[in-house]
C-alpha cells in the first residue's frame, strides 16, 4: 500500500543553520504531497504542498520539490529560526482519493 517514510528525529540545529528533512514515498499513480507542521500544543497546519511532478511548494522560507524519479519530497530551509521548532509531517494523498497518509513526523529543535 501507499506509505511515507521520513527521517527520524530529533533534528537539532543552531539558529541560521540550513535544514533538510528527508521524505520519500511509495504510491501508485501520481499522489499529491504535503508538509504539515505541528507547533507545541497545537494541531497540524499545512506548510506547503505540491500536486504534480517537478512542482515546488514554498511557504515561510521552506521549500520542497516533488521529485517523481526519486519518489521524494524533501523539506529545506536556508536559515532556520528558533520559532521553527516544531514537528514536521510529510504526507500524501493518493490519486483519486482525499485520504492523507502521514509519515511518523520529524521533531526539529532550533537553539539560539
Partner 1 sequence: NAGVTQTPKFRILKIGQSMTLQCTQDMNHNYMYWYRQDPGMGLKLIYYSVGAGITDKGEVPNGYNVSRSTTEDFPLRLELAAPSQTSVYFCASSQGGTPEETQYFGPGTRLLVL
Residue 71 CA to residue 7 CA, distance in Å, equals 14
- Select 17 or 55, whichever has its Cβ closest to partner 1: 55
Whether the CB-CB separation of 64 and 56 falls below 8 Å is answered with yes
Residue 63 CA to residue 35 CA, distance in Å, equals 10
- Select 34 or 62, whichever has its Cβ closest to partner 1: 34
Site for partner 1 in 46-65 (CB under 8 A): 46, 49, 51
Peptide bond into 10 cis (omega under 30): yes
Q: Helices (DSSP H) in the chain: which residue ranges?
A: none
CB of 34 to partner 1, least distance (A): 8
Q: Check residue 69 for interaction with partner 1 (CB under 8 A).
A: no
Site for partner 1 in 27-46 (CB under 8 A): 31-32, 34, 36, 41-46
Largest CA distance in the chain: 44
CB of 93 to partner 1, least distance (A): 4
- Select 77 or 89, whichever has its Cβ closest to partner 1: 89
Amino acid at each position: 500500500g501507499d506509505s511515507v517514510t521520513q527521517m527520524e528525529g530529533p533534528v537539532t540545529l543552531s539558529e541560521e543553520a540550513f535544514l533538510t528533512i528527508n521524505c520519500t514515498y511509495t504510491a501508485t499513480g501520481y499522489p499529491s504531497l504535503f508538509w504539515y507542521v505541528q507547533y507545541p500544543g497545537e494541531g497540524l497546519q499545512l506548510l506547503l504542498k505540491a500536486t504534480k511532478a517537478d512542482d515546488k511548494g514554498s511557504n515561510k522560507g521552506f521549500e520542497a520539490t516533488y521529485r517523481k524519479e526519486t519518489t521524494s519530497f524533501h523539506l529545506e530551509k536556508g536559515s532556520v529560526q528558533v520559532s521553527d521548532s516544531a514537528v514536521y509531517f510529510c504526507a500524501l494523498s493518493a490519486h483519486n482519493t482525499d485520504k492523507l497518509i502521514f509519515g511518523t513526523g520529524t521533531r526539529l529543535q532550533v537553539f539560539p
